[in-house]
Structure 1
Amino acid sequence: MLKFENQAHVPSYYAASANDRTSHPPLEAAVSTDVCVIGGGMTGLSTALDLAERGYSVVLLEASKIGWGASGRNGGQLITGYSCGIDTFSSFMPETDVQRVWAMGVEAVEIVKQRIEKHRIDCDLTFGYVVAANKPRHAEALRAWRDAAETRFGYRAYRYVAQDEMKLHVASDRYVAGLYHADSGHLHPLNYTLGLARAARGAGVSIYEDTSAQALTKTAQGHRVTCARGQVDARYVVLAGNAYLGRLAPALARKIMPVATYLIATEPLGEARASSTMPSDVAVCDCNAALDYFRMSKDGRLLWGGKASSSTHAPRELAAAMRRDMLKTFPQLADAKIDYAWGGFVDATMNRAPHFGRLEPDVYFAQGFSGHGVNVTALAGRLIAEAIDSQAARFDLFGKIRHRDFPGGRLLRQPMLMLAMSWHSMMDAL
């Protein structure tokens, strides 16, 4: 069991540069509301904000602090689409529906952009994104991806970047090509999440921190969420705890695996050195199964992420291990000091497609973002709010996707996934 109740934000660059220190009281009473949202990350806050703007009363419960989990620790990469390939959806729905799902993947980034503009969220939003090819076969796949997006979906925003042009984005000899996307980018994820909380609170959402939902029971009027020192009676419930929801909804927990990912932040490099290292200020990820991802922060630090693992234990000497990976791409930063090192868990499904649905007609959930949470959580919140507001057609599209339990049961599924990830890492190396 992952322990997370009543904890402060983990030490990280994001926590150190957070621009909102607002705290919210724990729930210590019995309250009633239209909707109870469980989880104070991007999913829960996006849902709560959308519902409040539609006129619903909303209570949001967070077991620790707003943005404590992946929402406040991730790489901050805002990427159009989904973690899985689009053909994953083709296995479960006709092409007309696949086209709609594709369009929603583009819409997700627009939702984030509009919320930041509307609510004046200061989170360093920057557009520009490059998928970097480590090998020639990756380059071929990127060209195919660009061509398929144009011919199949009429989407022309991807631009192939040849090897000699990659230096315009990344000062490294490591990559043989790339795919540039102007409609994707990066942001400060914790400040974005804290901004969503401010917007939700301003729209009338009641937010309670340090309040763990311990039980969910059916009542004559709807559902009761029982907490340590209070309870919430609600007509609807939204489960938005993702990787931390296990004991409240075991059936959902079996569909996802918490996957750890880690980041480091260098000292500020100075304006000239930062711009020479990442000339176009894009976010980057590579094409390996065990991928690296990186970008510059607004104050000129290189943020380097990777070392995905199904283990709940961080690598020994995390900062040094991550630094070694960083220097494979940027040997010129050998003298740069590492100021921060941290990690967190993303929730991955077997097929890497997002998992949206209902446990009961009025109990909704969204999980399984598989590394694309910054954008797809915004879409999840919009679709759940639509469904509660009697417009469920778009939400129900995702219910067509069949999600399997991770094999191996409670004891073996983590070791089995560790073996699979080790295999992919070996294939990347070879």
Structure 2
Amino acid sequence: ERRAGAVHPLAYARGLADAALACGAAIHEHSHVSAMTPVAGGVELTVNGHQVRAKQVILATDAYTDRLWPAVAQSYVTVSSAQIATDPLPVALRERIMARGAGVSETRKITYYCRIDPDGRFVIGGRGHSADTLDPATRAQLIAAAIERFPELAGVAWVHGWACRVGMTIDDLPRLHRLADGVWTAFGYCGRGVAMGTALGRVLAQAVQGCDEAQLEFPVTPVSRLPLYPARQLGAALAISWYRLRDSLGYPA
């Protein structure tokens, strides 16, 4: 897609933080919230062992909600998203494999995506096996996928790698919920959180400022627990394996 661009997510997040600070917001890092309890006139939060009272709370934890609000955590499945990267490649090699420097994403159901970053590193990502760490099997799988698509990368050292959880809803669409008086959440970006998280962040800002639910730019729905929730992760793993098989046989996504 020649019109497409690429965004550095961490740099973008830092830019959003700078904008928030410029508007007078206070940002408190390393402030782990372990519990949230609706109370009269707001919400009580346990933060690093201390009690904090807030009038409005936005739960923006997506695939990392866990026990903080169990009903939310039980309404999606988590899958692993993993990426690996080389050191900056020689210019001649970069021009042979991706001369235009465009980001690439496939039309398969279980896709690989890759690009050349501004410093010349080749980056490839896809579904992993472990939600929070880059395991050896996933690293090997990504290297094999890179070489299959670009044989010139055989023998290149892969020196960077990371993995994280991604929240997936049953219909691949995000959710916006009012969990209690003064408590809002949006989640389920299904791997498209940089764009969708920004868009729904604006909607959440309108919500906590008192905008009528019917006037919000995204529908507010009740939380719905996944059917057969205890088996959700096994089901997700089986589904990924099934779609990988379909992709390998050439079935359309």
Distance 1:299 1:250 in 2: 42
Distance 2:121 2:144 in 1: 17
State the match for 1:275 in structure 2.
Answer: 95
State the match for 1:216 in structure 2.
Answer: 36
Letter in 2 for 1:288: R
Q: Is residue 2:229 matched to residue 1:413?
A: no
Question: Are 1:354 and 1:368, in contact at CA under 8 Å, matched by a contact in 2?
Answer: yes
Counterparts in 2 of 1:223-242, with a 5 A limit?
A: 223-242=43-62
Which of 387, 391, 397 matches 2:218?
397
State the match for 1:122 in structure 2.
Answer: none
Cα deviation, residue 403, structure 1: 6.7
- SS of alignment partner, residue 405 of structure 1: coil
TM-score (norm 1): 0.54
Distance 2:138 2:239 in 1: 22
Distance 1:309 1:325 in 2: 15
Counterparts in 2 of 1:21-420, with a 5 A limit?
A: 130=1, 180=2, 182=3, 184-309=4-129, 314-392=134-212, 393-395=214-216, 397-400=218-221, 404-410=224-230, 412-420=231-239
Distance 2:26 2:95 in 1: 42
Cα deviation, residue 388, structure 1: 2.0
Cα deviation, residue 317, structure 1: 4.4
Which sections of structure 2, spanning at least 5 residues, go unmatched? none
Task: Please tell me the root mean square deviation across aligned C-alpha atoms, in Å.
Answer: 2.1
Q: Could you give the per-residue CA deviations for residues 307-363 of structure 1, whole angstroms, max 9, x where no partner exists? A: 345766754344333111101100011132111122111111111100111101321
Cα deviation, residue 369, structure 1: 0.4
Q: Could you give the per-residue CA deviations for residues 101-155 of structure 1, whole angstroms, max 9, x where no partner exists? A: xxxxxxxxxxxxxxxxxxxxxxxxxxxxx3xxxxxxxxxxxxxxxxxxxxxxxxx
Question: Are 1:346 and 1:371, in contact at CA under 8 Å, matched by a contact in 2?
Answer: yes
State the match for 1:32 in structure 2.
Answer: none
TM-score (norm 2): 0.89
Distance 2:137 2:244 in 1: 20
Overall identity of the aligned pairs, in %: 32
- SS of alignment partner, residue 201 of structure 1: helix
Distance 1:211 1:299 in 2: 33
- SS of alignment partner, residue 347 of structure 1: strand
Question: Are 1:256 and 1:350, in contact at CA under 8 Å, matched by a contact in 2?
Answer: yes
Letter in 2 for 1:420: A
Q: Is residue 2:225 matched to residue 1:422?
A: no
- SS of alignment partner, residue 27 of structure 2: strand
Closer, same or farther in 2 for the Cα pair 1:313/1:281, shift >3 Å? closer
Aligned residues: 248
Which sections of structure 1, spanning at least 5 residues, go unmatched? 1-129, 131-179
Distance 1:313 1:338 in 2: 16
Closer, same or farther in 2 for the Cα pair 1:239/1:403, shift >3 Å? closer
Letter in 1 for 2:74: R
Question: Are 1:349 and 1:403, in contact at CA under 8 Å, matched by a contact in 2?
Answer: no
Question: Are 2:131 and 2:163, in contact at CA under 8 Å, matched by a contact in 1?
Answer: no
Highest RCO, 1 vs 2 (Cα 8 Å, sep ≥ 6): 1
Q: Could you give the per-residue CA deviations for residues 159-191 of structure 1, whole angstroms, max 9, x where no partner exists? A: xxxxxxxxxxxxxxxxxxxxx5x2x42111112
- SS of alignment partner, residue 419 of structure 1: helix
Cα deviation, residue 421, structure 1: 1.3
Distance 2:133 2:93 in 1: 34
Question: Are 2:34 and 2:46, in contact at CA under 8 Å, matched by a contact in 1?
Answer: yes
Closer, same or farther in 2 for the Cα pair 1:425/1:311, shift >3 Å? farther
